[in-house]
Amino acid sequence: MKVLLVDDSGTMRAIQKRCLNKLGIEDICDADDGVTALRLFEATAFDVVLTDWNMPNMDGLQLLKEIRQRNADIPVIMITTEAERNRVMEAIQAGVSDYLVKPFTTDGLRDKLEKWIPVRI
């Protein structure tokens, strides 16, 4: 299981890594913006992408659109504070696989991941 974790907050990336580790996922690459994430995505095969929405250089929605142009099947889960209905609908229209609103719990993350990839806990 290889995860691409994208968030401009180092603290949030650390929290998400701890949650993923609790779920038995340890092969994690991380990026602090969409530009860096897209480079990693193009160079490495991932099983799932977890991305924030609001980031510098390239936000999560644009990253999602770029990923969808390259791979329509990989699960992309948006983990964000953006909870307004129109923002959620925008992400759905762009092809997001699932959506998780911050703050979240390890159980909440596991529930989202289990829809797309095998998670052991």
Architecture of domain 2-111: 3-Layer(aba) Sandwich (3.40)
Q: What are the pLDDT digits (tens) for 68-106?
A: 999 999 999 999 888 888 988 999 999 999 999 999 999
Q: What are the pLDDT digits (tens) for 74-84?
A: 999 999 888 88
Instruction: Check residue 82 and give its pLDDT.
Output: 82
Q: Is 71 exposed, middle or buried (0-12, 13-18, 19+ CB in 10 A)?
A: middle
CB 26 within 8 A of CB 120: no
Query: Please, which contacts does 9-12 make with residues 24 or more away whose CB atoms are closer than 8 Å?
Result: 9/52, 12/52, 12/102
